[in-house]
Amino acid sequence: MSIRKKVAVVGATGIAGQQFLTALANHPWFEVVRFAGSPRSAGKRYEDALRAPNGQIGWWQPEPIPEKFRNMMIESAPELNLDGIDIVFTAIDSDAAKELEPLYAKKVPVISTASAFRMEDDVPLLIPGVNTSHSSMIRAQQKKRGWKGFIVPIPNCTTYGMACTLAPLQKAFGLKTVIMTSMQATSGAGRNGGVLALDMLDNLVPYIPKEEEKVQIETQKILGALKDDRFVPAPFAVSCTCTRVPVTDGHTETVFIATERPATVEAAIAAFKEYKPDFGDLPSAPKNFFTVHDDPFHPQPRIDRDQDGGMSTHIGRIREEKALGGLKYVLLSHNTKAGAAKGALLVAENLCVTGYI
């Protein structure tokens, strides 16, 4: 891309915002020119906004704070100056997103990690390489709402890996039923002053509020059809149980599917290996959309999650599912990379090359 896009990050001091800054620090297409945050952070240097009263700097990424961002000033999110901004990336909670994202979308494209608008009937829930054609709904959204920009959220990080792996199987065999159990990393819950660590040590938490409902309806939207400017959910049933486990990063999921047409293990492996989206030169795209393991002891989060910059979805233990009449397998996706900031960057990159940004 010959001209770099000027971007703003809203919620820059939070965990998701920090993930954006790490991913954007050396991005060849996007240049961060503005930060926005809560009234508590507004008017402060970025590094000062991270500093707690006890002196601790609340930067929670394994990489150091990029030098170029330390002295940038944080604006108040509701008064964010959008002059000269090409894209706004939001890393805020759903309640704040409901208020702020439409303000920004009146003028510029908004790529969001929040759930606030995911199920709106004119908002595409995009995974490039899976449902890229849903991008056309952006024009209908702009017309309906009278916006120059638009809102495009990314899916829930648990939805991401499953929707990716179901796409080639849906195409090859058709799907009747999907049953999934997740073993989700603690990083997906953010930070909670040490309480979360005490909850998770030597433990497994069998319930994540609202997660199962999100996965079910988001999967059907992503893998559904777009007809006459409306989304038609995929007809297959989705049921899941979402749990939290003492793993730092990387969501592991066991998936059981009933297929419409007979499916062999060999045919499923071929479907995964032949599914190669053409990402061209998108900077955040994985070299391998899927990494298929023949070692039954993989995928493992600690060993496999960071391959391909955390953007590859790993699949292993593909087996025949006799009880349902279909297949079963284990998947792993990186919840704070592919399922968060880097996934959002990939969406933005794709919308740039397809002319929506």
User: CA–CA separation, 192 vs 223, rounded Å?
Assistant: 34
Residues 116/101, Cβ–Cβ less than 8 Å: yes
Backbone angles phi, psi at 226, to 5 degrees: -115, 115
Catalytic residue check, 164: no
Catalytic pick from 134, 157, 314, 352? 157
Q: What type of residue is 276?
A: K
How far is residue 245 from each of residues 199, 201, 208, 340, measured CA to CA in Å? 10, 9, 11, 19
In sequence order, which residues have a C-beta less than 8 Å from that of residue 205 and are 6 or more positions away? 199, 243, 244, 245
Alpha-carbon span 22 to 64, nearest angstrom: 9
Partners of residue 153 on adjacent β-strands: 112
Catalytic residue from among 134, 251, 293, 334: 251
Is 157 a known active-site residue? yes
Question: How far apart (Å, rounded) are the C-alpha atoms in residues 355 and 357?
Answer: 5
Report the 10 Å Cβ neighbour count for 47: 15
Which of the residues are catalytic? 157, 251
